[in-house]
Structure formats: structure tokens, C-alpha cells
């Protein structure tokens, strides 16, 4: 690597604890800040409790409540109180229900140029807009970062995207990232950090950059990075914390591993069709389709500008009577500033249905569209059924395109508002000083020693797991095909989500999508044999990073999965919770073993040490198969030996500097 660095390289170099900055090689970096939200955070807090952590070791950790806001019974409200007590106990800031969506609030109140951030939410990269290295990760990774451990990942390639020019009227930041999605689709940037640079940046405010960084996640990127330039100084000043600014620019002769360029002037209003964020076309191509709902808001268009522009377009006009005009404010602060700007009043007068601030419809927490109707949203994702309506038709677009549909009742190129309705494009002037109060943000107390965790009846301490045994004799409880996803292993949805802080309860849905009897059979097998194994094909546990897909089967006695191959995150989660991720040495053996067979695994501890294949003895069939541990690091072997990463942490806490510290309890 040359001595000239791009922003991404600077950020990594400044935080590098382990490994070399060569693309593809594993590195470990120091984490300055963490972000957790309620849907994943309750498990993280239970993990911190199980790890025996006394106090987070990061500079700043913040627990947000933005997902599970509807409170149709006591469970979500109880989770909020639990999270508040856990934040106090472990030393996190707590952002109360109603304070807003984690990503924009974090950017406004906590983000700092030059810092690293890891969050248990895939849109954490949004803070890359500030010149931070901001990464999404699984809950345990975030818990470990809070405990002062490095975050491990493969050194990404850096895709430099040069921006030049200026966005035309009726085109905004959302169209920039939709253009990226049009070019790269949803997997095109895997293993990359996208770094934007060039003169076009002078025309993109900090919150515009947030829009682009947020949806970098949809491109499959590790994260997105922007420089911290004068625009960021202005933003931090408007947020009342100019002192947090630090300039971080790419060195003049900085190089990128990959190259692309966007001329902002050439962009047109774009829209992602159902049901993938990568399914992007110009709005004009699908103009005229009838729209039943528009939803403004979410972390993908959270800024004052994004609401202001819609208010300004709607001023003195009314939304079409055949659609629901849903407004999903980002945060308490956004509402306050929107009201001060006068545009809140225009949105209400035009017929807007104004909801509480939070993620809401973006994660299917209300606002589900009616059957066979089109919903236009400024949100980041339109995966099938994510809205809450199974056969939904969700389109993703900019606030301008949303406003055009709100007025006409049809998908409409917003430029036609000017051409055909004579509406002039409103010019947004960024506010020099936003109204700020931190009423819903609670600082951590000096000490959490005497704080009791507030656990409602649905919040259960994590179960403890035993170390790996030498030998097992257990039944095969399930045989699954290729590509089984975490949604099949443990589904999400309004019924199951409220149990995410209750492992015994949520385990009732383990594999229920595949076989409703699984839970009961697993308990019987745990009673009779002390556990079970399952068989799977290729790419086991693909999909989301949810840890419940490992911990719930573990709770039910899962000793091992034997698969042809694994998805990376699912494999990692099995290890973290001490389930053996075994692979068939001869994939054809998959055909020979069946549900109901009783198998023996012998001499596991030695095999693990020696990295030797294990003989899986099929007692029922009177056959043997070779199965292997694949590519386990020494650390991962130890985690498995100890029965999971929480036991590992408790018994052998390794500090960020590599020395062994005394156990925390």
C-alpha cells in the first residue's frame, strides 16, 4: 500500500489492532462507539448480563428504542423498561421510545468524524456520512465491542465513486443511491467499502450523504464512507457540537481498489420496483400506475430537508383522496424543527396521517398496505412481505417522487409537477442552528453497580450452556434441503418478535416453518438423549444475521448441524453459541442419513484439537460417515470447546491489547 491513503484506509489504519490491511485478509479493529436498537438490543443486553460485564469500555454506546413501538400488550413496553435499566447498569446512553430512529439520531447527537461504530442493525453504515467507519454486525459482535474486544472482519476493497456536478431540480440524494443500485444491484458491492469523493460532494449536505450511506447496505457493501469536510463541520455546528468536528479527507494521491463515477447533473428520478431495492428504473417508465399509499420517513430519508421538501410541494394542496398519505417522522427533534419551519403544518393541512417517530412501517410495524395496492415509500427496503402484507407491492423512491404521487394518486415523474402543474421546485436552505433538546436521551449514571435489571415476565435471563462433551449419542431430528434460511430456522413477524428477549419461549418456533412438531420432539430428545442433531444441504442458515436461529436450537439441545456447506453468518452464529457446525466430507453421505436415525459422535475434543474429521456413527443404519470442522481458528475452537462465546468470555477474557485479564466475575 502506498503512503497516500483514502478515507477508509485512514479510518482502518487508525484503529487497526490485528492483521494486515490487505483486501481479503482478516483484520481486527478497535471500536469507539456502538449502537443497538430494541429488536436486537434486548438479546445484546442479556448477553452482556451473561458475560458478567460491569461497564462498557467504548467511548460511547447508545441503546435506541425505535422498532417495537406499537405496544399491543405489555411485552414491548416491558422491553423498553428493561433496556432503560440495562443501559443504566452497563453504562450506555438510552434513547427513549419516541426519540427517533437510531441512525439519524446517532448521527445528529453522537457521531464523530474519525471514529469507528459498530451497530446491531444493518443500516449502521449511515454514520459513514460523517467520515466514520460504521459497520453493522450481529449482536454478540456488538456485545464484544462493548466489552472492549476488537471487531474482526475481512479487509474490504475500497470502491472509489467520484461525484461531480450538481443534482437537477426534482432529483435528490435518494436518486444517487438508487442509481448505484441500478448499476450494482443488491449484491454488487459485497466485500467492498464504497467511498465517495470528488467535487460533487460540495452539493450534498450531511443528511444527503446519510441517505446514500444508509442504503449502501442494500448494495451488499461492508460500509459506505464519506470524507469529513466543511459540509460536515456545518452539520455538526447546526447540531450544536462543532467541537466534535475533525477534518478527514483522502490524501491527494489516494488510490482506490475499484473505480466508478456519477455525474449528478445526469441523474433522473429513479424508483425501485417490487420487491427488491436493486430493481431500479426511471420513474417515467412506470408513471401512471395507481398508488394506494405513500409513506414518508425512515432512516433512508430521515432529514429535515426530506420532510421539508414534501411539505413545500404540498403547501396549499391536498393529497389525493384515494391514497393514504402516511408520515413517519424520524425523531422528536425532526418534528420540532419541522414545526418551526412551518412545513409540519403544510403536511397536516394537506391530509397527512402523522405517526409516532420510529421505524414503524419500514419494518412492518404498522402501516401495512391494503391487498393489491401499490405503496410508495422513501424507505430502504421492499423485500416481499416486509410491509406486513404478504403479497405487497412496495416501491422505493425519493421524497420528491413520493410527493408527486401523493398529489396525483399515481406514480408520477416529479419533474412533471413543474411541467404540467406549474409547481416550482422548492429550494431548501439548510438550517444554521437546529432546535435541539435531549429530553428523551438519558445519560448513563456514573456507576451502574447498584442498578437492578427490570425484567418483565417475558424477559428471561439467557440459559447457561455446558462445555463440549467428548461423546454424544443423539437422534437426527430434522433433515433439510439446500439454502435453508434463518427465516425458516426462526421466523420473524409480529407474533414471534415480542419473544426475542425470552429464549425458552421463542424456541417454540424453532424450525416450526419446516416442521411444527420440532420443538416438542427436541424437548423429548433432550430428555432422553441429552440433545439432537439436524442435517442440512448446501448454504445452511443463509439470510439475516439473527442470533436466535442459533441460540434457540442450542437451548433445545442441538449438539451439531451436519451440512454440505454453510452461509458465513449462520456458521459464525452456530460457533458463537457452541453448536458444532460439521460438514460432510463426502457430500453423498447426505443421502444416506435420515430423520429418526440415532447417531454417535465420539472423541470430539481430540478431533477438534487435531483438526481431524470425526466419524459419525449411524447406529440405526449401521453405517459410518466422515464429517469435519472446517476452517476453525484457534479462537473458534476454544469457543466451541467451552460451549459458546459467552462462556469463553467469562473464563478467558482477552483485552483489546491481547493480554489476558482476570475474569470479570
Interface residues with a second copy (CB under 8 A) are: 70-74, 76-78, 80-81, 96-98, 292-293, 318-319, 321, 324-325, 332, 335-336, 339-340, 344-345, 348-357, 364-373, 388-390, 435, 437, 439-440, 442, 456-457, 494
CA separation for the pair 518, 539 (Å, rounded) = 21
CA separation for the pair 130, 113 (Å, rounded) = 5
> Per DSSP, which regions of 564-647 are E strands?
580-584, 598-601, 614-618, 623-629
Alpha-carbon distances, residue 454 vs 4, 451, 457 (angstroms): 51, 9, 10
> Per DSSP, which regions of 101-238 are E strands?
116-119, 133-136, 151-154, 157-164, 192-197, 223-225
Neighbours of 452 (CB within 10 A): 8
CA separation for the pair 482, 661 (Å, rounded) = 43
CA separation for the pair 8, 128 (Å, rounded) = 10
> Per DSSP, which regions of 49-182 are E strands?
60-64, 93-95, 116-119, 133-136, 151-154, 157-164
Q: Would you call the peptide bond into 275 cis, given omega within 30 degrees of 0 as the criterion?
A: yes
**34 vs 324 by CB, closer to a second copy:** 324
Q: Which residues pair with 601 in a beta bridge?
A: 472, 616
**84 vs 507 by CB, closer to a second copy:** 84
| Sign for the pseudo-dihedral over CA of 304, 307, 309, 312 | negative
**220 vs 292 by CB, closer to a second copy:** 292
Minimum Å distance from CB 295 to a second copy?
A: 11
Are 476 and 595 in contact by the 8 Å Cβ rule? The answer is yes
Q: Which residues pair with 455 in a beta bridge?
A: none
**371 vs 630 by CB, closer to a second copy:** 371
Minimum Å distance from CB 371 to a second copy?
A: 4
List Cβ neighbours of 495 (8 Å cut-off, separation of 6 or more).
Answer: none
CA separation for the pair 119, 192 (Å, rounded) = 18
Minimum Å distance from CB 323 to a second copy?
A: 10
Are 405 and 323 in contact by the 8 Å Cβ rule? The answer is yes
List Cβ neighbours of 350 (8 Å cut-off, separation of 6 or more).
Answer: 314, 315, 317, 318, 319, 325, 406
CA separation for the pair 171, 200 (Å, rounded) = 14
CA atoms within 13 Å, Cβ hemisphere of 219: 27
**101 vs 561 by CB, closer to a second copy:** 101
Alpha helix segments (H runs only) across 477-633: 486-489, 503-506, 518-529, 548-555, 568-576, 589-592, 604-610
Which candidate, 488, 500, 583, 503, places its Cα nearest to that of 544? 488
**371 vs 609 by CB, closer to a second copy:** 371
CA atoms within 13 Å, Cβ hemisphere of 343: 21
Minimum Å distance from CB 235 to a second copy?
A: 22
Helix, coil or strand: residue 328:
strand
Amino acid at each position: 500500500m502506498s503512503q497516500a491513503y483514502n478515507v477508509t484506509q485512514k479510518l482502518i489504519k487508525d484503529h487497526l489492532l490485528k492483521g494486515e490491511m490487505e483486501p481479503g485478509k482478516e483484520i481486527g479493529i478497535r471500536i469507539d462507539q456502538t449502537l443497538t436498537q430494541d429488536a436486537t438490543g434486548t438479546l445484546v443486553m442479556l448477553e452482556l448480563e451473561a458475560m458478567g460485564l460491569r461497564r462498557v469500555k467504548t467511548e460511547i454506546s447508545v441503546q435506541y428504542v425505535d422498532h417495537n413501538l406499537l405496544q399491543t400488550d405489555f411485552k414491548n413496553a416491558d422491553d423498553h423498561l428493561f433496556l432503560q435499566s440495562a443501559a443504566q447498569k452497563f453504562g450506555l446512553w438510552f434513547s427513549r421510545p419516541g426519540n427517533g430512529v437510531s441512525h439519524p439520531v446517532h448521527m445528529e447527537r453522537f457521531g464523530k468524524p474519525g471514529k469507528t461504530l459498530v451497530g446491531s442493525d444493518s443500516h449502521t453504515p449511515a454514520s459513514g456520512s460523517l467520515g466514520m467507519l460504521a459497520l453493522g454486525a450481529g449482536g454478540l459482535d456488538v456485545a464484544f465491542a462493548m466489552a472492549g474486544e476488537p471487531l474482526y472482519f475481512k479487509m474490504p476493497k475500497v470502491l472509489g465513486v467520484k461525484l461531480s456536478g450538481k443534482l437537477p431540480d426534482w432529483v435528490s440524494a435518494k436518486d444517487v443511491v438508487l442509481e448505484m443500485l441500478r448499476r450494482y444491484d443488491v449484491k454488487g458491492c459485497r466485500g467492498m467499502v464504497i467511498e465517495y469523493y470528488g467535487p460533487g460532494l460540495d452539493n450534498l449536505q450531511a443528511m444527503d450523504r446519510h441517505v446514500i450511506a444508509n442504503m449502501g447496505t442494500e448494495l451488499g457493501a461492508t460500509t459506505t464512507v464519506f470524507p469529513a469536510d466543511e459540509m460536515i463541520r456545518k452539520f455538526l455546528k447546526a447540531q450544536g457540537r462543532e467541537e466534535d468536528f475533525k477534518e478527514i479527507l483522502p490524501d491527494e494521491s489516494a488510490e482506490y481498489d475499484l473505480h466508478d463515477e456519477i455525474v449528478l447533473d445526469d441523474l433522473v428520478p429513479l424508483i425501485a420496483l417490487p420487491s427488491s431495492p436493486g430493481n431500479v428504473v426511471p420513474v417515467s417508465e412506470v408513471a401512471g400506475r395507481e398508488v394506494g399509499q405513500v409513506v414518508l420517513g425512515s432512516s433512508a430519508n430521515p432529514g429535515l430537508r426530506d420532510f421539508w421538501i414534501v411539505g413545500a410541494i404540498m403547501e396549499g394542496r391536498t393529497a389525493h383522496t384515494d391514497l393514504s398519505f402516511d408520515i413517519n417522522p424520524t425523531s422528536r427533534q425532526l418534528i420540532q424543527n419541522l414545526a418551526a419551519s412551518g412545513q409540519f403544518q403544510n403536511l397536516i393541512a394537506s391530509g397527512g396521517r402523522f405517526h409516532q417517530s420510529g421505524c414503524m412501517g419500514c419494518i412492518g410495524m404498522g402501516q401495512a398496505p391494503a391487498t393489491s395496492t401499490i405503496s410508495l415509500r422513501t424507505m430502504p427496503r421492499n423485500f416481499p412481505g416486509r410491509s406486513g402484507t404478504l403479497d405487497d407491492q412496495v416501491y422505493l423512491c425519493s421524497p420528491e417522487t413520493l410527493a408527486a404521487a401523493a398529489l396525483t394518486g399515481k406514480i408520477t415523474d416529479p419533474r412533471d409537477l413543474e411541467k404540467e402543474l406549474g409547481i416550482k421546485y422548492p429550494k431548501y436552505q439548510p438550517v444554521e442552528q437546529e432546535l435541539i433538546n435531549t429530553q428523551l436521551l438519558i445519560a448513563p449514571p456514573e456507576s451502574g453497580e447498584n442498578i437492578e435489571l427490570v425484567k418483565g415476565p417475558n424477559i428471561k435471563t439467557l440459559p447457561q450452556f455446558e462445555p463440549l462433551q467428548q461423546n454424544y449419542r443423539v437422534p437426527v431430528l430434522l433433515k433439510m434441503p439446500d439454502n435453508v434460511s434463518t427465516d425458516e430456522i426462526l421466523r420473524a413477524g409480529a407474533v414471534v418478535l415480542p419473544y426475542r428477549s425470552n429464549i425458552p419461549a421463542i424456541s417454540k418456533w424453532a424450525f416450526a416453518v419446516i416442521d411444527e412438531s420440532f420443538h416438542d420432539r427436541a424437548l423429548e430428545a433432550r430428555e432422553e438423549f441429552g440433545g439432537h442433531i439436524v442435517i442440512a444441504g448446501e448454504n445452511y442458515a443463509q439470510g439475516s444475521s439473527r442470533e436466535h436461529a442459533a441460540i434457540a436450537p442450542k437451548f433445545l439441545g442441538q449438539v451439531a448441524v451436519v451440512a454440505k456447506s454453510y452461509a458465513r453468518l449462520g456458521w459464525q452464529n452456530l460457533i458463537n453459541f457452541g453448536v458444532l457446525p460439521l460438514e460432510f466430507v463426502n457430500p453423498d453421505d447426505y443421502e444416506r442419513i435420515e430423520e429418526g436415525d440415532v447417531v454417535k459422535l465420539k472423541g470430539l475434543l481430540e478431533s477438534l484439537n487435531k483438526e481431524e474429521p470425526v466419524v459419525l456413527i449411524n447406529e440405526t443404519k449401521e453405517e459410518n460417515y466422515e464429517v469435519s470442522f472446517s476452517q476453525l481458528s484457534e479462537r473458534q475452537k476454544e469457543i466451541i470447546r467451552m460451549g459458546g462465546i459467552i462462556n469463553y468470555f467469562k473464563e478467558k477474557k482477552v483485552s483489546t491489547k491481547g493480554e489476558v485479564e482476570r475474569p470479570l466475575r
